Structure 1
């Protein structure tokens, strides 16, 4: 293997790992709330992930600054964690893992819409508007098939609140632009999220777990605490430093498809053929949205 192919293999491996972790996370969330109240799962996840992250930070000898700008950035980052994830965990009671992943695939479309309409930082091309319209029509078709599939309007609403929280966090962190390395930013945000989750205790104390849950719940706990909160985070920050943003955004197309397959194989989630057609329309719309960026990226790469 040549010296040039080795970095490519490493990058490809990390990319595949990120896609697999993100595709499996919705199923892990659904499993983790089977026997334990969702908010207890969230609280335990963030305290466990914070301890792991602090340990990694110590081993790497990375700093965890507590100046005003850094603290503000941690709070902004926590909006992606305790903010977005809170609504995802609530949505897990209403949607299948595959449909949760499908809805989160709308996040780049929502980001583009916010950037175009509210922040005025992005101009959307006609093909992107068309892609959005096609994706929404596909989602409406899936929703219309709710009699045969586990599609609940409450779950859809919770997922879109989660997406807005996730996108707002990204814009806020970029606007603050704190001089933090990715591990410090992530650890600080995890700690803030863990402390914020303590505010849930008065509302969930009566649902405190009183016995050891089953295998599915434990697997979901461990996976979200380690793989989703730590490994995926490190993979993501590693990739966005080395790849074009549009290349990383391809995960939004691949993740829902893999999540649907995993949900069907491992959790016996049934999706009717009508819903499958609607999902295919959604994915086609997302591809249309990214098409122009992918073409420009391809041309730029071959002009070097």
Structure 2
């Protein structure tokens, strides 16, 4: 039986969300030494080796390859697109903007699952969340109304960040709608990492020289953070928590991630935030909360109403 939230869960989720929020900042910080596209390619390669070694040791992949490889290829392709858009988008927009727009993924996965599975149809509270989220996107995209060249570039980067969120959301749809939903989570993660490495490497080689490449403490630390800490250790910790705690509790805590991303962007990269973006980001996160946690929120509202009568 899965447990409800406790102090240990809060502490571990605080650490995980901080790591996930730091990821885009780390890519941006090391961009002067290694271009973002090469960073995410190497990240997938290193993490695929680590996850593959774990799979071989566990033996949990046996009997699953024949029924999951098609879904694995599709999920891996979408995973590659997600990180391609992240890498390209960070060349134009800030890590703070990327952190917010990337985490629109639950909105796209909810819409996709509602179309694919009748049991996943959206309720009124969720449709309100979708509307708030897209209103927030429009407001955040509007910026401060100054359409200088710099803001046009940021608009392009924000659009790529939104495409990354769409790719992530569709990955969730593929996993939920295929045999991957029943397969070991480490196998699904391995598919995503391996396929994304192959596709990103192919694009990187075809697109020309990926200079500069400078192995500095910043670039090495960024790669280790992305590959070992985030893509390997933090995901394993997440799957471990999913087996022991209620998924709704985990999802609520995960909303801290974009907040950490924005905070680290401001503190580490000295990024500035316009009032329009702050208000838009607040609407986006409120919308995501309504879509993802509508059942929990509805139960809480019913409890408060009963207690007040």
Q: Which residue of 2 aligns with 1:14?
A: 12
1:188 to 1:275, Cα distance in 2 relative to 1, 3 A: closer
Counterpart residue number, 1:166: 168
Q: How does 1:98-117 map to 2 (within 5 A)?
A: 98-117=96-115
Distance of 1:87 and 1:140 partners within structure 2: 19
In 1, are the aligned partners of 2:85 and 2:164 still within 8 Å (CA)? Answer: yes
Identify which of 94, 107, 115 aligns with 1:96.
94
Aligned to 1:286: 288
**Distance apart, 1:210 and its partner CA:** 4.6
Partners of 2:57 and 2:302 in 1: how far apart? Answer: 39
Q: How far 1:64 moved relative to its partner?
A: 5.7
Name the structure 2 match of 1:268: 270
Aligned to 2:199: 196
Q: Is the 8 A contact 1:80 1:170 kept in 2?
A: no
> Does the 8 Å contact 1:246/1:297 carry over to 2?
no
State the match for 2:237 in structure 1.
Answer: 235
CA–CA distance in 2 between the matches of 1:74 and 1:243? 26
Structure 1 residues 29 and 250, CA gap change in structure 2 (3 angstroms): farther
Q: Give 1:268 deviation, angstroms.
A: 0.5
Q: Work out whether residues 32 and 216 of structure 1, in 8 Å CA contact, stay in contact via their aligned partners in 2.
A: yes
The 3 A distance-change label for structure 1 pair 275 and 160 is closer
What is residue 186 of structure 1 aligned with on the other side?
189
> Which of the numbers 121, 124, 128 marks the counterpart of 1:123?
121
Structure 2: give runs of 5+ residues left out of the alignment: 304-309
TM-score (norm 1): 0.83
Conserved in 2, the CA contact under 8 Å of 1:79 and 1:165? Answer: no
Aligned residues: 297
Mapped to 2, the partners of 1:287 and 1:220 lie a distance apart of 30
CA distance in 2, matches of 1:42, 1:167: 19
**Is the Cα–Cα contact under 8 Å of residues 128 and 288 in structure 1 kept in the other structure?**
yes
* Structure 1: 5+ residue stretches without partners: none
Once the two structures are TM-superposed, the CA of residue 251 in structure 1 deviates from its matched residue by 4.3
Contact 1:64 1:188 in 2 (8 A): no
State whether residues 100 and 159 of structure 1, in contact with CA within 8 Å, keep that contact through their aligned partners in structure 2: yes
The offset of 1:27, in angstroms, is 0.9
RMSD of aligned residue pairs (Cα, Å): 3.2
